[in-house]
Structure 1
Amino acid sequence: MTVLASPPAVAPGSVRIHRAPLLDPPFDDELRPTTYRPVRPEPREVIPPEAIAGASPECHTTALRFLNLCLELFNGFRSPSQLRPLLRVTEANDVLDELTRALRRLAKMRLSRRNATARTPVRRRQLRTCEPRPGVAEVAAVLSDGHSTWSIAYRLERDGTTWRCTALTVLL
């Protein structure tokens, strides 16, 4: 026969608080704490500190001159073929195709608002130049004609004493 002991009588509404033992063993997760540490990818190419500091004055001046020639092209004072001496021979066709495509889109935009206002020239709003390696300039510029804003990005590389454009992208 089994005898069941009844719990001591507790008054309703009363609470008993028991103290924890002085030497409470640690929980299992406290024995070896784990923390989340994300895995950072290793950098593919080490960027020299000179690239972070900015571009050299010669590099910035060359980038600004090339951009001014592109602005003359966008405003109708030059033809794309006049930029050919400033382009590297192997990439010249790609750069000229991109410039021609941008000129066509710009002409369509101007025709669509032809009756609205007089034609305003394309102007430079901002220019950023970076020199990741000596003799290489990567440039991003923001252009505006008063109605719309777009950007142009290009890469200039030094061939001996002259700078030549090797890549160009216009985002209209």
Structure 2
Amino acid sequence: MPRYEPPFDDELSPQVWASARQLPLTWSVSQAPTAPDPTDSARSPATPPVDTGAPLSAADAPPVVAGASSDAKLAVRRFVHLCVEVLNGYRPAGHLRRLSLPSDAADVVSEGLAGARRVTDFRNASRMGNRRARRPVPVAVLKLRLCEPRPGAVEAAVALVIGDRTWAMALRMELHQQSWSATVLRLI
């Protein structure tokens, strides 16, 4: 047989990728994935576990994966955009309250206010050295990294730039009553 021909199906050796803890692939939308049956430890790894219909326990929860869901990404981008507008002086810091959890809103607003003051101080100091600069240098987002450590909670690290300085902003948002709310905001 010529070397450029692919092998026939009966010539291929089976590749086993399944592990003992692999969840079954269910095609129906109404069923949630279930945990493997611990009594079937003698089963071969290539055989999929039996779907028992039992919900996953906390010990069988999926591992934390870098990144976040699309809803979480949208909520974080919206919140970061609002924070940048507060830092640039286009909005008052009180506008952060409506996107914050009520119990944490005072801390989030005070951190936004402190950040806006720091930006103003930086602009005033840089304006003293350069009298020709008329338009203030805006705060801009350099990079945004997200992680969803558990469903319903997202954490973000944001690199901000103003002039020749780089700042960091960290935040956490949680899903409460079908809306994302900020619980922590830190400017470094």
TM-score w.r.t. length of structure 2: 0.63
Partner SS state of residue 91, structure 2: coil
In the other structure, the counterpart of 2:84 is 71
> How far apart are 1:47 and its partner, in Å?
8.2
Contact 1:152/1:168 (8 A) holds in 2? yes
1:169 matched to 2:186? The reply is yes
1:145 matched to 2:162? The reply is yes
Is the alpha carbon distance of 1:114 and 1:52 closer, same or farther for their aligned partners in structure 2, counting shifts above 3 Å? same
Partner SS state of residue 89, structure 1: coil
Contact 1:122/1:143 (8 A) holds in 2? yes
Partner SS state of residue 107, structure 2: helix
> How far apart are 1:54 and its partner, in Å?
1.8
Q: Percent identity?
A: 37
Provide the C-alpha distance between the structure 1 equivalents of 2:175 and 2:137, rounded to a whole number of angstroms.
Answer: 34
TM-score w.r.t. length of structure 1: 0.68
1:86 matched to 2:99? The reply is yes
Is the alpha carbon distance of 1:144 and 1:160 closer, same or farther for their aligned partners in structure 2, counting shifts above 3 Å? same
In the other structure, the counterpart of 1:55 is 68
Q: How far does the alpha carbon of each residue in 1:55-113 deviate from its partner, in whole angstroms, 9 at most, with x for none?
A: 11111111111100111111111001112111111111111111111111111111001
1:113 matched to 2:113? The reply is no
Contact 1:48/1:132 (8 A) holds in 2? no
Provide the C-alpha distance between the structure 1 equivalents of 2:60 and 2:106, rounded to a whole number of angstroms.
Answer: 32
Q: How far does the alpha carbon of each residue in 1:131-169 deviate from its partner, in whole angstroms, 9 at most, with x for none?
A: 001110101000002321101000000111111000110
In the other structure, the counterpart of 1:34 is none
Across the two proteins, how many residue pairs are aligned to each other?
Answer: 126
Contact 1:47/1:132 (8 A) holds in 2? no
Provide the C-alpha distance between the structure 1 equivalents of 2:94 and 2:123, rounded to a whole number of angstroms.
Answer: 22
Match of 1:155 among 166, 172, 175: 172
Is the alpha carbon distance of 1:112 and 1:138 closer, same or farther for their aligned partners in structure 2, counting shifts above 3 Å? same
Rg comparison, structure with higher value: 1
Match of 1:123 among 124, 134, 140: 140
Contact 1:143/1:149 (8 A) holds in 2? yes
In the other structure, the counterpart of 2:37 is none
Partner SS state of residue 137, structure 2: coil
Is the alpha carbon distance of 1:93 and 1:58 closer, same or farther for their aligned partners in structure 2, counting shifts above 3 Å? same
Gaps of 5+ in 2: 1-58
In the other structure, the counterpart of 1:100 is 113
Provide the C-alpha distance between the structure 2 equivalents of 1:122 and 1:102, rounded to a whole number of angstroms.
Answer: 11
Higher relative contact order (CA 8 A, sep 6+): 1
